Chain A
Amino acid sequence: MAPTSRASALLAACAVLALTGCGNIEPWVKPYERQAFADPIMSFDPHPISSSYMHHVFEAREGARGALGSAGGGCGCN
């Protein structure tokens, strides 16, 4: 199986497994125990304007792309 197919199959399996028990999952971290996630330093993207720019910087100079958020079109980087 190609690496991409493996990745897709793994993701599909995770999604199906995650969804099979939709009905009775008890949240194991209660709402009152989540104060750490309310702290701005725990945001995955605390500075959207900066991360969007850095994605563009890398995408214009690397072959890889995607799975990191959108950086828009165009280039101006040759």
Chain B
Amino acid sequence: MFANPSMPEPNDQSRCTSFWHALFVSACLLTALLALTWSQRAPAAVLPEDRADVLYHRYEGGGVTIHGPSVLVRKKMAEKYSVSASYYVDMVTSASIDVEVSGASEYKEERTQYGLGFDYLRGKTTYSLGYTNSDENDYEAETFSFNIAQDLFGDLTTISMGFSRGWDVVRNVTDPTFEEDIDRWSYRVGVTQILTKTLIANLGYEVITDEGYLNNPYRSFRYKNPTNEQLFLLEREIYPRTRTSNAVALNAKYYLPYRAALSGGYRYFTDTWGIEADTFEIGYSHPIGPWTLEFAYRYYSQDRADFYSDLFERRDQQNFMARDKELATFSSHRVRLGGTYEFAPAGIGFIKKGSASLFYDRIEFDYEDFRDARYSMDVSAENFVPAGEEPFYRFGANVIQAFISIWF
């Protein structure tokens, strides 16, 4: 294979710089946390409430349907300890554009995820440990996480930091001998600040590093067919074996005088694959009697990865080659409408209160350099368009969540 001088490999130097910056920030905050933990004894922080949620989720769009249940239960003990357990299932039926272009037929699979959490509150400090395990027939993922949060300055400020470590195993159902690993590291810090009597803001920063087999073993890139340039051929993608990303997010929430909440947020993202992304969000919550109505809008846009191309000139064009639409240049708009109905506000038996929620999200994805290759697959088809001239791909998705929450 030949390296393409115009396609830089992920920059090790910038990755290291980001990593050391993150480490420096983390060390500063940890030192401050420890000093303050030992110097302040007044009780203030509280653990999350005892609560159980049961949710049904359904995603439908782009030829993919994913649905399933999710359960989250949290219980306090002696006001000092809190344990949580979660269960989540994705039942997938997929005939996505990637599946169609590869010539494969619709497939079904299932992913199950379990999670356990433990929190310990000591004075104004909350220590949290977490474990999640995700399992599907060709992918396993295990993650351990540790977080520490500290209230400061008369509880106007909460600073937090965390670390996660993950181990994934990637398999391929068509090749029983195929097995690859991914190691993951995540470092994060955050500050939540009460700014006025009605305004609160949160600033968060996270560095994530992955190392290992980062491809999807089923996905292919496409390149021009040397014998007929109107057509394309497929070859398995080749990704770098490392990726480091940085994300910084600022979110704020404002309490309106007539009892409603307005929220806004922005996230900037960049990584060593050359992706840069912006995410903007606004939201509005409005209680009316036992109902709380919610509206939200989210805009996301990203630039493509350095080694992404919709159609490569030749099979061995460069070291790394990808055609994952997740790495393409695109934008998406999301609109949410939803409502929560509170029932049993005075409690029934051991239940203190309950609520039922229904949320509907519509997401529109518009790709700027990912073409609909289904048009150039069959030269004899009536709607045939030569490879590289197909219309850009776009699709919409409907997401529904229905869930019941009880506090006990």
What is A's interface to B at a CB cutoff of 8 Å? 2-5, 7-9, 11-12, 14-16, 18-19, 22, 25-29, 31, 33-34, 36-37, 39, 41-42, 44, 46-50, 52-54, 57-58, 60-68, 70, 72-78
Contacts and interface: CB of A to CB of B under 8 A. Distances in A.
Interface string B37-77: 00000000000000001010101000010100011100000
Given A22-B152, A25-B153, A39-B259, A76 B198 contact: no
Contact of B194 (A8, A14, A37): A37
A48 B191 CA distance: 19
A33 B197 contact: yes
A55 B164 CA distance: 17
B390 interface: no
Contacts of B135: 74
B333 interface: no
A72 B143 CA distance: 7
A41 B339 CA distance: 12
Interface of B: 14, 17-18, 21-22, 24-25, 28-29, 32, 36, 53, 55, 57, 59, 64, 66, 70-72, 86, 88, 90, 92, 94, 96, 98-99, 109-111, 113, 115, 130, 132, 134-136, 139-143, 145, 152-157, 159, 164, 166, 168, 184, 186, 188-189, 191-192, 194, 196-198, 200, 202-208, 216, 218-219, 245-249, 251, 253, 255, 259-261, 263, 267-271, 273, 275-277, 279, 285, 287, 292, 300, 302, 305, 326-327, 332, 340, 357, 359, 361, 363, 365, 399, 401, 403, 405
Contact of A44 (B25, B188, B202, B246): B202
Given A66-B245, A70-B164, A29 B156 contact: yes
A47 B357 contact: yes
A66 B18 contact: no
B interface SS class: strand
A8 B203 CA distance: 12
Given A41-B292, A44-B251, A62-B277, 7 more contacts: A8-B25, A15-B189, A54-B401, A68-B204, A72-B88, A73-B134, A76-B109
Given A16-B28, A27-B153, A50-B401, A63 B271 contact: yes
A64 B66 contact: no
B94 to A, nearest CB: 7
Contacts of B115: 72
B326 A61 contact: yes
Contacts of A54: 361, 399, 401
A34 B197 contact: yes
A74 B255 contact: no
Given A42-B255, A47-B357, A78 B216 contact: yes
